[in-house]
Amino acid sequence: KDIGVWVVLLAVFLHLLGFTVTGPILPALTEHFNLPHAKVGYLTSSYPLGMFFALFVWPKLSDAIGRKPVIVFSLLGVGIGFVLQGIAVARGWPLWTFLALRVASGALAGDRSSP
């Protein structure tokens, strides 16, 4: 029973981390990708954009195969997405790759936003 509580806490932590991770490092990311001020919103809006589109998929998938497999897949996907975002920055991958990883991570986190 305790493991269930920890899984829920991990899910909430990852969900909130996805939204807030760009906040403290936004100046560094802006400099790293050499973004003009008018395009900084790309970094902060890509994650919620992925969540928005996933809201149309996750409820149906959850009904079809069950909630637990969807949540497990989502948690693994978001975790892998965050690691890949870190690798993208560390290895100097282009901005579009980083943004695609943010959108994908947001889409995988979208299961916890559906009703």
47-100, pLDDT tens digit by residue? Answer: 999 989 998 888 899 899 998 888 888 888 988 999 999 999 999 999 999 999
Q: Does residue 44 have a pLDDT over 60?
A: yes
Q: Does residue 26 have a pLDDT over 80?
A: yes
Q: Taking the model in full, what pTM does it have? A: 0.84
Q: Where are the alpha helices (DSSP H) in 2-110?
A: 2-20, 22-32, 41-54, 58-65, 67-90, 95-109
Average pLDDT of the chain? Answer: 88
Q: What number of other Cβ atoms are within 10 A of residue 71's Cβ?
A: 17
